[in-house]
Amino acid sequence: MTVLERLRPDHAPALLAFERENRAYFAASIPDRGDDFFTGFAARHAELLAEQAAGLHHFHVVADSGGAVLGRFNLVDVEDGAAELGYRVAERASGRGLATSAVRDVCALALAEYGLTVLRARTTVDNAGSRTVLARAGFAEAGTLTLMGKPGLRFTRYLAAPGG
């Protein structure tokens, strides 16, 4: 059983373990966070929590019954009822529907708890898994871009009718 939770201070050890355990896996498809991310993790975690408290972002983790983090699902750059969705899932949890389920849950929270009406996301064209997750969660392609030097796609999901 897994649970989606809003990021809290006590998630720090499990979140750091998640990032360390999956560093090479993530770096195969997105830029590596770099050594400074890991050495300065405690300070960065505190910064994220302060930004969340200020309403700038909404960070979430999916944890298993033992408290191990299996994924991060974040709404960043909250402004004017919109935010950017970003997520990453542990290698051991990929391909099991966890990302799709959690993205759907975050979309529901975005509307019900945070008052957001539009979510945007982006991924590289070659990231078939991420494109599938976004499509299954109701996102529609909304244009192209270059992402990390690669062809990419923009996605949008309207959570409520624009203007009401």
pLDDT on residue 164: 52
pLDDT the model gives residue 161: 59
Instruction: Give the CA count within 13 Å in the CB-facing half-sphere of 154.
Output: 9
**DSSP bridge pairs for 143:** 154
Centre a 10 Å sphere on the Cβ of residue 77 and count the other Cβ atoms it contains: 12
Q: Hunting for tokens 């976004």 — which residue is that?
A: 134
- What integer pLDDT is reported at residue 148 of this predicted model? 80
Q: What is the 3-state secondary structure (H, E, C) of 89-140?
A: ECHHHCCCCHHHHHHHHHHHHHHHCCCCCEEEEEEECCCHHHHHHHHHCCCE
Domain boundaries, the chain: 2-158
Residue 98 pLDDT: 97
The class (CATH top level) of 2-158 is alpha beta
Residue 150: predicted pLDDT: 85
Q: Give the pLDDT of the chain (164 residues) as one tens digit per residue.
A: 899 999 999 999 999 999 999 999 998 888 788 899 999 999 999 999 999 999 999 999 999 999 999 999 999 999 999 999 999 999 999 999 999 999 999 999 999 999 999 999 999 898 899 999 999 999 999 999 998 888 999 999 999 855 55
Is the whole model's pTM more than 0.95, yes or no?
no
Report the distance separating Cα 96 and Cα 159, nearest Å.
Answer: 25
d(CA 116, CA 10): 26
Determine how β-strand 2-6 pairs with β-strand 58-64: antiparallel
